[in-house]
Chain A
Amino acid sequence: MAETATRSKPTSSGSKSRRGGARSSGNRAQQTQEKAALGSESPEQLRDYFKQMSLIRRFEERAAQGYTQAKVGGYCHLNLGEEATVVGLMSSLYNSDYLFTNYREHGYAIAKGIDPNRVMAELYGRTTGTSKGLGGSMHMFDTDVGLLGGYGIVGGQIPLATGAALAIDYRGDNQVVMCQMGDGTTNIGAFHESMNIAALWNLPVVFVVINNYLGMGTTVDMASAESELYKRAVAYRMHGERVDGNDVLAVSEASGRLVEHARKTGEPAMLEAVSHRMKGHSVVDPAKYRSSEDAQAARAADPVAAFRDQLISAGVLDEDGASEIEQTVQADVDAAVAFADDSPHPDPSNLFDYTYATPVANDSRRLPADPVF
């Protein structure tokens, strides 16, 4: 069940825990008990959610492995622990709807419909990747499925998403923009400026905050004066809700409802999905700032395992069926790794191909070793 910001609530969750402190909100436990009922989705749909969640889980484990093998470079931020949120959110968008994400985006790229082969190839920096190897982990893109980019600057995507919604409104189209971000993002100016503009101009954008309680190593209550982030919507006369991000069905229901409302009315909304990040901020972060209880809680909340159990209890899957899906996604991820490994690296002679969309006279196209003119 979701909470809405329009309800009047008693004072916020209080305890100002410091590094690795226990999570203070009582809402989390409450929400876990109040999961959406299993049944509004078809069995095929439920199995597909499980398949996608398993695929993202397996994919991210292999991405981490690729990083330790130095096949994947740069930064690498994983969706491990957030699979229910990712799949739930993406289930509410059509291919023609647009998604802007932050840098923690591999799962979103896959769930939005990009072939995992191309996602892995981008991590490997190959020409077959989602951005031809020019973007890497943080900058995937695919117009065909409406992923309008992962962005590496915290909150940089929010004004862009608002502008995409402005273009939709300008043309009188009926797509919706979803703008995904983390809890740490809600304190930057661009967040507030964009929420204001979206509400002021009635733009069809759903701002989604993944609250995993950690902005890198800083807990949400160390960073945000109001740590129940959905309440920030009130300041912009915008509808805001909080949902249990470990529950794929609850996320799907809430985001589906907000997306369709935005589509119908053009009104923006904000959804906070409370989730866990199983690992560090990126693959090189051992997350020493987390208490063992906190890390334990994150592992215990494993949404993939929980959904598997849920489907088996409900008779939607049996053990064999679940294993079969797990084997299929394992094979898919193996294939993605092989595809990435076999794909060509970009050719340095193409270095200057994508600086300008309109070629320029007198461009400084030169390599450091070239003569000056």
Chain B
Amino acid sequence: MAVITYRQALHDTLREEMLADENVFLIGEEIGVFEGSYKITAGLLDEFGEKRVRDTPIAEEGFVGAAVGAAMLGLRPVVELMTINFSLLALDQIVNHAAKIYGMFGGQSNAPMVLRTPGGGGQQLGATHSQNIELYYAFVPGLKVVAPSTPADAKALLKASMADNDPVLFLENLALYNTKGEVPDEVAPAEIGKAGIVRPGSDITIIGYSRMANVATQVADKLQQDEGISAEVVDLRSLRPLDRETVVESVRKTGCAVIAEDDWLTYGIGAEIAASISDGAFDYLDAPVRRVAAAEVPLPYAKPLERAALPSAESLTTAVHQTLEAVGHRR
């Protein structure tokens, strides 16, 4: 078992799958000669050539749509969208076409492709480059949306996404690329649509995904250590399909929940999770479900403002304390 970065896990998986299947090719801006803005594709152009590592013009709608068309004929494109913010330029091709091809033609065609893209704030990139808009895609039947939080999950979910016959939006996070974790030598593909209990506990459930799943785990470890609070952490891993059962089961056990999300609060992923808890665990709740999310502002550039706008370990810890106070939790 090796300890590698999230970045390395993504790179290794792409390379392994390209070696295994001639139909897999990479397409996106700056992925070849430049080796990717975040260097996920480093070395792959040299190894696989221009046919399979295809630099594109800066024209998201054109090249994402071309990947959809190629997928319809049985190729397995992996698109890199430099950031999720730029995916908006290709929204028509993703939402109106990739997601609909299987359904609207009665199952005669499909678009087996992966759209890899990082999101997230915290790098002082300003309002248009710091968004968590995975919800736009998680809303759409026909798409699948996964959001790994660790190197091992990144590998297992990318394998699963590349093997899937549907379009998968594979959400990365700028803050995760350099994080490290243990990755087994042999990683089996994950089951898309399955959440994970990354830390068992009995007092409270914290639900997160991507960066915030890791923040939740750190917070839970500290609460255990400092205050003897036993928090269970659920990492959603997949935003569509959504594993409501794992969430509900956990909340039935602990009786209360805090949701940690990097996106905006109103209509966000957390709202859907809260509704699922209300639907499936209402009678088990000892306190209202609380949500920690980004401030609802265009993300500012200035460092103190940006920091204040994003959910953090501190804000999550506060929310856990408030919830446990409402429960009357005795430590």
Contact = CB atoms under 8 A, between A and B. Distances in A.
Interface in A110-142: 129, 131-135, 139, 141-142
A91 to B, nearest CB: 24
Interface string B189-229: 00111100000000000000000000000000000000000
Contacts of A364: 241-242
A372 interface: yes
A361 B194 contact: yes
A355 B142 contact: yes
B155 interface: no
A142 B144 CA distance: 25
B280 interface: yes
A362 B241 CA distance: 6
Interface string B92-120: 11001100011111111110100000000
Nearest to A164: B69
B63 interface: yes
B108 A355 contact: no
A148 interface: yes
A166 B193 contact: no
A162 interface: yes
A156 interface: yes
B109 A143 contact: yes
Nearest to B279: A372
A158 interface: yes
A131 B106 contact: yes
Contacts of A133: 106
Nearest to B276: A372
A372 B280 contact: yes
Given A361-B192, A363-B193, A364-B242, A163 B69 contact: yes
A318 interface: no
Interface stretch (B39-47, B53-61, B125-133, B317-325): B53-61
B243 A362 contact: yes
Contacts of A100: 69
B184 interface: no
Given A135-B106, A170-B51, A190-B61, A361 B280 contact: no
Interface string B154-166: 0000000000111
Interface in B72-105: 72-75, 92-93, 96-97, 101-105
Given A160-B68, A170-B51, A135 B110 contact: no
Contacts of A190: 61-62, 65, 92-93
A190 B57 CA distance: 13
Given A153-B96, A194-B66, A170 B25 contact: yes
A129 B104 CA distance: 12
B70 interface: yes
B105 A362 contact: no
B67 interface: yes
A133 to B, nearest CB: 7
Contact of A193 (B62, B194, B279): B62
A364 B165 CA distance: 18
A132 B102 CA distance: 12
A163 B67 contact: yes
Interface string B23-36: 00100000000000
Contacts of A189: 59, 61-62
Given A193-B57, A358-B164, A142 B68 contact: no
B65 A354 contact: no
A131 B104 contact: yes
B25 A153 contact: no
Contact of A358 (B64, B71, B166): B166
A360 interface: yes
B241 A361 contact: yes
Contact of A355 (B51, B93, B103): B103
B67 A193 contact: no
Given A355-B142, A372-B280, A373-B280, A166 B105 contact: no
A159 interface: yes
Nearest to A158: B65
A163 B105 contact: no
B244 interface: yes
A189 B193 CA distance: 35
A196 B65 contact: no
Contacts of B51: 170
Contacts of A194: 62, 65-66
Given A156-B93, A163-B68, A360 B62 contact: no
B182 interface: no
Contact of A373 (B68, B72, B97, B279): B279
B245 A362 contact: yes
B64 A159 contact: yes
Contact of B241 (A134, A168, A360): A360
B106 A159 contact: no
B62 A197 contact: yes
A167 B107 contact: no
B57 A200 contact: yes
B18 to A, nearest CB: 13
Given A161-B69, A162-B69, A372-B280, A167 B97 contact: no
Contacts of A151: 97
A55 B62 CA distance: 36
A165 B67 CA distance: 11
A364 B108 CA distance: 22
Interface of A: 98, 100, 129, 131-135, 139, 141-143, 148-149, 151, 153, 156, 158-168, 170, 189-190, 193-194, 196-197, 200, 353-358, 360-364, 372-373
In the complex, the 7 A-B pairs of residues with the closest C-beta atoms, listed nearest first: A159-B65, A163-B69, A193-B62, A132-B106, A163-B66, A361-B193, A167-B73
12 contacts: A131-B108, A141-B108, A153-B97, A164-B73, A166-B66, A189-B59, A357-B110, A357-B165, A358-B166, A362-B241, A363-B241, A372-B280
Given A160-B72, A358-B165, 18 more contacts: A131-B105, A134-B104, A153-B92, A156-B97, A160-B65, A163-B67, A167-B69, A196-B57, A354-B102, A354-B106, A354-B107, A355-B141, A356-B142, A356-B165, A357-B107, A362-B243, A363-B241, A373-B248
